Structure 1
Amino acid sequence: MATIKKEDCTCPRRRKPTCPHKPYRVSYREPGGRAGKPRQVSFKKLEDAEAFAVKVEREKDLGTYINPKAGQKTFEELWYEWVEAGTLEESSKRNYESVYVNHYGPFFGNKSIAGITPSTILEWEADQKERGYTSNGIRGRKNVLSSVFNYAVAAEFIGRNPCKKANPRRSSAQDITPVTDEDIPTMEEVLGIIAEAPKLIRAGFWAMAGCGTRPGESLALADASMNWERSILTVDHQVSAYGCQEISGYRRGVKRGTKHRAFEQARQTPVPESINQIFNDHIDAFGTWGERGWLFESPKLNDRHPSYDWFLTKFKDAAKAAGTPRYTPKSFRHFFVSEAIHADIPLFEVAAWVGHRTTRTTELVYGHLVRRAMERGARTMHNRLGLKLEPFRNLIVPSHLTPNEGDDEDWDDVA
């Protein structure tokens, strides 16, 4: 049991109200009986010491005891321990370093992890909003933050994840922004943007609209990723701001694997015959480079991938020149998914092609399109079966099985 002992204070009587000493010392053992490590914690007030003594014994009984000193670790120490404890590639570690410096370090860096509460998380979210970041971006960074604290809980540094208590009414579905009709370009608008794009990168724009690839995945198209005979693209690399040093030889470049998927879990997507021809025409005009036969090369440096930012800038310029500045590269993925759903392609196929973890993600993002597909399916089956159903009614419920008045007993036997 925890015990409380009062120690004499050496301060003069007149200075006792402002005395810095903590005379009330709580002594207890960590879980494990006599084998548990003895601990002592001092308090200035008796009521605080009594509350702690009750709390620590209750946590020992419930099996939720956490060493108070473990929570003194700073967030910065926790962050780098979390990064090194995983199986992240060097490129991902560099990405996380950038995210830490820009979004976490200034706010949490020197705080003890035990001192970070749900209120602290809400203050950080408010700070992010004041700095002009979007809600989607903040939610994404909060998910990373929650993963860090989950690690701290599993390592028994703290008892609870403060992110779990911040905004408790928010559901996971609210983290996904549904697409509206205004977010999806028409075929004419897609063609207009591609017509304004530099010839060097047009095939990458076609890949987004015709194969559903992300911008970074489009930049990493290679001859080695294409099955030309079957018209299938294996999406297994992406260009990012912090590429894999071992592959590109530079900090910025290409990395193995894509969003949510390791290299070994690469997805495949069909390549329309017309897009297949566009890729071939691009190779005829510009050639390939590197061992994998990369399709796109930096316009300024040989044997280097175009930068991700350059790609986004060129898309923005093309969209503006085409008179549709509201569209982004993601709009072309929306176009791809929209056309696939309108063509009644099964949702699980569409989700696999664009790299969604589950069809649930596809349903949440493209819900209004899915609902329209359901309506079209019902109309199709009605047109197929309902309009000329009258001649076949007896095949559905044969007339000799329809009960007549007074035939209740026979009907019960048939049923």
Structure 2
Amino acid sequence: MARQLARGMGSFFKDCDCARPTRCPHLYTIRFRDALGKQREEVGFGTQDDAVERLTQIYVEKKRTAPSVAEARRELGQMTVAEYAKQWRSRQRRVAEYSTGQRIDSALNAHINSRLGSRKLNSVTPIVVERFLDELEADGVGRGNQINILQTLKAILRDAYDKGAMADDPMKGVQKPEYVRKKVVIPTLAYLKQGLAVAGDDLALEIVMMAGCGLRNGEARAVNINNVVADDVYRVHEQIHGNTHRPAKLKHRKPGEFREVPLPRSVREAMERYAEKHGATAEGYLLRGPSGYYTETMERRRVRSLFEKLPVIDGMGMYSFRHYFASNALGSGIPITDVAEWMGHRSIEETYRTYRHLMPGSIAKAARVLDAGLWETA
């Protein structure tokens, strides 16, 4: 039987059929109306005092909320996800329009609005979000894309929650999809040399920058003679964007940020030979096309021609030459922390997940090294 407290405070009870509920081991449940006027329940209170204390806390918080504020929150909760998302998007002035901005708009237009757009904010719960993810999975949306979509949805819903549109966090307990990375295919040194031998000068230089310095495709397209800041250091501070075909900020970096990577002598000499043969722009760019920059469309044709001349290996592509850099570095004993920094990964976990198979026997090797050290100092 529910015990009613002062008007507006709510009640508490045990949901059991025990003869003496006050002495049975079951937990108390409290029932109350939140600041939005919606009846709610919370379970898990061991004693009556615990239940009353929680109800009192909720009551005091409601009293501190001005009626006008409560009404504004109720009105906000009546907005649809699509309506709120449109307002939210207009406030995202600091995102990079050609990278983050495009991903946000794609997530909204292709998935979020079509599946959740008509739902009122105050009806969005963790279960609703979980079902949304289930639909993405059932429709064959890739795990990496699922993560990006959920990131956008989470930002919108958390913003609405912080402004009082929902009483409870709609993302509470929701786990993001686990990204299953595709198999990493790493070319041999012989394959790399064969690729350089049959590639044209432009594509060969891009391959050299990827295999020798660990650059991404877009970063390699932006290779610049002025980025050589020391005989053995290359500064990476931009990429040629795949959509705009113009210089853009680096992935996982803010505009103006850069990273410095090792510049092997053979790579520096390849850059110098290319500059001597083909020249460079006034800004120092080596690869260029009709629009002034080396574009993805130009590369796609050359890449197709390149791999038609090479042995067919399932999964082999241009990005495999960047994997070669990681393999060469880790296989040479360079710490994975340095490799992660040079490759521009968001975190060392990304590097480890991708390349941990390149470090077989590292524990056994460590055991031998430590054992030798112990005996030497014994």
Q: In which range does the TM-score fall when normalised by the shorter chain?
A: 0.7 to 0.9
**Which of the residues 326, 348, 351 maps onto 2:340?**
351
**Which of the residues 141, 153, 156 maps onto 1:148?**
156
1:283 aligns with 2:275: yes
SS of corresponding position for 1:268? strand
Structure 2: distance between partners of 1:196 and 1:108: 51
CA-to-partner distance for each residue in 1:119-172, whole Å, 9 max, x for gaps?
A: 433443344345443222222322332233233333333344434434x4x6x8
**Which of the residues 62, 67, 79 maps onto 1:73?**
79
Structure 2: distance between partners of 1:205 and 1:369: 21
- Are the counterparts in 1 of residues 240 and 293 from structure 2 also a CA contact under 8 Å? no
1:303 aligns with 2:311: no
SS of corresponding position for 2:338? helix
Structure 1: distance between partners of 2:215 and 2:257: 16
CA distance 1:86–1:186, change in 2 (3 Å)? same
Structure 1: distance between partners of 2:301 and 2:171: 35
SS of corresponding position for 2:240? strand
CA distance 1:143–1:209, change in 2 (3 Å)? same
CA distance 1:154–1:265, change in 2 (3 Å)? farther
CA-to-partner distance for each residue in 1:305-337, whole Å, 9 max, x for gaps?
A: 413x55356435533541225123332222211
- Are the counterparts in 1 of residues 252 and 346 from structure 2 also a CA contact under 8 Å? yes
CA apart distance, 1:380: 5.7
1:333 aligns with 2:322: yes
Structure 2: distance between partners of 1:195 and 1:122: 51
- Are the counterparts in 2 of residues 340 and 350 from structure 1 also a CA contact under 8 Å? yes
Structure 2: distance between partners of 1:103 and 1:81: 17
CA apart distance, 1:345: 0.9
- Are the counterparts in 1 of residues 213 and 263 from structure 2 also a CA contact under 8 Å? yes
Larger radius of gyration: 1
CA distance 1:116–1:221, change in 2 (3 Å)? farther
1:88 aligns with 2:120: no
Map 1:216-235 → 2, pairs under 5 A: 216-227=218-229, 229-235=230-236
**Which of the residues 284, 288, 300 maps onto 1:293?**
284
1:238 aligns with 2:230: no
Structural RMSD (CA): 3.7
Residue 247 of structure 2 is matched in structure 1 by: 254
Structure 2: distance between partners of 1:217 and 1:60: 57
- Are the counterparts in 2 of residues 232 and 270 from structure 1 also a CA contact under 8 Å? yes
Which letter does structure 2 place at the counterpart of 1:253? R
Identity percentage of aligned residues: 19
CA apart distance, 1:294: 1.9
SS of corresponding position for 1:332? helix
- Are the counterparts in 2 of residues 238 and 254 from structure 1 also a CA contact under 8 Å? yes
- Are the counterparts in 2 of residues 316 and 325 from structure 1 also a CA contact under 8 Å? no
Map 1:109-188 → 2, pairs under 5 A: 109-166=117-174, 168=175, 174-175=178-179, 177=181, 183-188=185-190
SS of corresponding position for 1:157? coil
TM-score using structure 2 length: 0.72
Q: Give the aligned length.
A: 329
Which letter does structure 2 place at the counterpart of 1:70? L
CA distance 1:133–1:76, change in 2 (3 Å)? same
Structure 2: distance between partners of 1:242 and 1:57: 56
CA apart distance, 1:188: 2.1
CA apart distance, 1:268: 0.8
Structure 1: distance between partners of 2:302 and 2:111: 27
CA apart distance, 1:186: 1.8
CA apart distance, 1:60: 4.8
Residue 412 of structure 1 is matched in structure 2 by: none
Structure 1: distance between partners of 2:111 and 2:197: 38
TM-score using structure 1 length: 0.66
CA-to-partner distance for each residue in 1:192-223, whole Å, 9 max, x for gaps?
A: 34444343222112211111111121122222
CA apart distance, 1:296: 1.9
Structure 2: distance between partners of 1:85 and 1:57: 38
Answer 1 or 2: which has greater helix percent.
Answer: 1
CA distance 1:149–1:57, change in 2 (3 Å)? farther
Where structure 1 has 5 or more consecutive residues not aligned to the other structure, the ranges are 5-27, 31-38, 42-48, 244-251, 398-415
CA-to-partner distance for each residue in 1:77-117, whole Å, 9 max, x for gaps?
A: 33344332452133243443244323333223333333333
Structure 2: distance between partners of 1:100 and 1:217: 28
Which letter does structure 2 place at the counterpart of 1:234? R
Residue 367 of structure 1 is matched in structure 2 by: 356
- Are the counterparts in 1 of residues 34 and 167 from structure 2 also a CA contact under 8 Å? no
- Are the counterparts in 1 of residues 158 and 170 from structure 2 also a CA contact under 8 Å? no
Structure 2: distance between partners of 1:62 and 1:315: 63
- Are the counterparts in 2 of residues 189 and 324 from structure 1 also a CA contact under 8 Å? no
